[in-house]
Amino acid sequence: MNKFDQIDNFTAELLDNLFSGRNLNADPVSPQAAKIRELFSISALDNQTGNIVELFKILKLARASQGFSPLAFDISRQDLVDLALKHQQIDEHRVSIGGRVDKALSIVSEAGSRVDWYLEQKDVSAPSGIELWDRIEQNHLRIRQLLGMSMEDWNSFSGQLRFAVESVETLGEILNLPAEAIEEVSRVTRNYRMRLTPYYAGLIMPETLDDPVLLQAVPTGEMVDNAGIEIPPVAADHSPARLIDQFYPRVVTIKATNMCAMYCTHCLRIAHIGKKDRIYTGKAYEEAFKYIRDDSRIRDVLITGGDAFMLPDEMLLRLLGELDSIDHVRVKRLGTRIPVTTPQRITRELLDILEMSNDRKPLRVVTQINTAQEITPVSREAFKQLSKRVSAVMNQAVLLKGINDTRVKMWKLCETIQEAYVRPYYIFNCSYRNPQFAHLRVPVKKGQDIVESMYGNISGDAIPRFIATAGGKIPLHSSNVTGAEGRELILRKPWSGEEVRYPDPDPVEYVRHDIAFNKFEKNDGHEAGDQEQEQSRLRGQGQNPGTR
């Protein structure tokens, strides 16, 4: 007898429970009894698990709600043991009926309650631009007519920039803001530039004062009224060469332009961006490339800005070509929000340039989408085209008060962008450096709650890492290792709080070298593992590996 000819513990437990019920008084002509008898006879005949599962479920219900044992329906323990074994034999993975009915189905149904609230709220409190598309299309039509744009203007990047909304008057015409609000915006725009492409302006729901796109794009009084001193932007102490920012030995950024198609109220580079459009000289780029060429440690170069897609095609072609010609530069990135703010920029010519460079060395596009509302059928199409031509399209969202600082909004953002071919990469906690947007900051604890709540509830590759920027990117996730007992760690499941024990490998075993084929090695006195381990061991002893 092999072990599949026996019932397992889950099934034994289920049967014990069922047969602890009363075996009399079931009404033999009730619909319930009829259903049970029917399931019993067909499950004996057919070669499926479905009817067996249904039968056990309904018997379980009869036991729980009315106290009936299967005997009340003329079904014996042996009958059910036979069906249980049959179930186990049909199932590809030999899952027992007890495991399925008593455990798996209950676990799944209980887990469902972790997401049911989200499924109810997501399209109401965090609608995507796809769900709002009818209203956005009406906005677009209205704005296009108001600005006197032709369809050709509308569908081209140059047209979108030429007709960009930069004045408070135009803003007032396309949105339904109260007079005091318009007054306030004009006060702020004396210091901070406002620019919305007509397309992006159309994503704003014109009657909604707390619209999340409005809050990202239109400067408010706090930007000038917030008390505090602006801490110099990172460039002041992290720029080893013209246009270059460097926090890490192997990754650098080139800030190739200071222009954007839309200016964000929460821009980290607010000191440089959007004050005045500047064209950088050829000399500046030359010096930046010389810096990269001269340091062979640099492996990953991020062309950013401003917005990399503000650069004309020929310029992007040149910059990417330059990077591709440097042997030690192995991968590249472009930082851009333009697929979100002005998807008209994603033309066939641009896509061809990106693909050509990606064919030489992997090119990723890093974007910034902060709300599901920013994903429309048009931007989704732009991202779909991009994703076919580059090695990855990734999102860096910024956690912003009133914009995306709830579980439902952030889950919805991550799922919506994933469905739009974009991989959630980072969520930045809004920076402390600039008083201009201190009013948009969210406590780290809140951000941790939002990100942790995603584990187990949305796809793992739709969960971004939560990051503070403070002279480099510092991960902020809370630890799920809550303790240790002997060699066992105590781990917490983020989605339920349940703690599980997790045996760590034996540290003595771990440093053993004589495993696998090493057993056959001639002993030449060389012991250790790889150089990295060797070096960290030496560092641990306070020695300098270089002098050994």
State the residues that interact with ligand SF4 by CB under 6 A: 260, 263-264, 267, 269, 273, 305-307, 337, 368
Please state, in angstroms and rounded to a whole number, the distance separating the CA atoms of residues 100 and 110: 14
Strands 423-429 and 465-469: parallel
Please state, in angstroms and rounded to a whole number, the distance separating the CA atoms of residues 48 and 90: 7
Give min distance, CB of 216 to ligand SF4, in A: 8
Q: Which two three-digit tokens encode residue 74?
A: 């003329």
Please state, in angstroms and rounded to a whole number, the distance separating the CA atoms of residues 483 and 5: 41
Residue placing its CB nearer to ligand PLP in the complex, 51 or 253: 253
The reply on whether position 117 binds ligand PLP by CB under 6 A is no
Number of helices (H) and strands (E), helices first, in the chain? 24, 12
Give min distance, CB of 482 to ligand PLP, in A: 27
Give min distance, CB of 304 to ligand PLP, in A: 8
Q: Are 200 and 213 in contact (CB under 8 A)?
A: yes
> Residue 473 binds which entry of ligand PLP, ligand SF4, none, with Cβ cut-offs from 5 to 8 Å by kind?
ligand PLP
Residue placing its CB nearer to ligand SF4 in the complex, 336 or 416: 336
Residue placing its CB nearer to ligand SF4 in the complex, 36 or 340: 340
Residue 296 is given by DSSP the state T
Q: Classify 366 as helix, strand or coil.
A: strand
Please state, in angstroms and rounded to a whole number, the distance separating the CA atoms of residues 263 and 273: 8
Strands 251-255 and 244-246: antiparallel
Q: Classify 424 as helix, strand or coil.
A: strand
Contacts of 171 (CB under 8 A, 6+ apart): 165, 177, 182, 185, 194, 196, 201, 218
Residue placing its CB nearer to ligand PLP in the complex, 139 or 253: 253
Total residues contacting ligand PLP by CB under 6 A comes to: 7
> Residue 302 binds which entry of ligand SF4, ligand PLP, none, with Cβ cut-offs from 5 to 8 Å by kind?
ligand PLP
Residue 279 is given by DSSP the state P
Please state, in angstroms and rounded to a whole number, the distance separating the CA atoms of residues 94 and 13: 17
> Residue 105 binds which entry of ligand SF4, ligand PLP, none, with Cβ cut-offs from 5 to 8 Å by kind?
none
The reply on whether position 42 binds ligand PLP by CB under 6 A is no
Which residues, 465 to 494, sit near ligand PLP by CB under 6 A? 473
Span from 247-255, 347-355, 370-378, 496-504 in contact with ligand PLP (CB under 6 A): 247-255
The reply on whether position 307 binds ligand PLP by CB under 6 A is no
Residue placing its CB nearer to ligand PLP in the complex, 362 or 456: 362
Give min distance, CB of 213 to ligand PLP, in A: 24
Length of the chain: 548
Give min distance, CB of 228 to ligand PLP, in A: 22
Residue placing its CB nearer to ligand PLP in the complex, 4 or 248: 248
> Residue 143 binds which entry of ligand PLP, ligand SF4, none, with Cβ cut-offs from 5 to 8 Å by kind?
none
The reply on whether position 253 binds ligand PLP by CB under 6 A is yes
Q: Are 347 and 320 in contact (CB under 8 A)?
A: no
Peptide bond preceding 306 in cis form (omega within 30 of 0): yes
Residue placing its CB nearer to ligand PLP in the complex, 248 or 502: 248
Which parts of this chain interact with ligand PLP (CB under 6 A)?
Answer: 245, 247-248, 251, 253, 302, 473
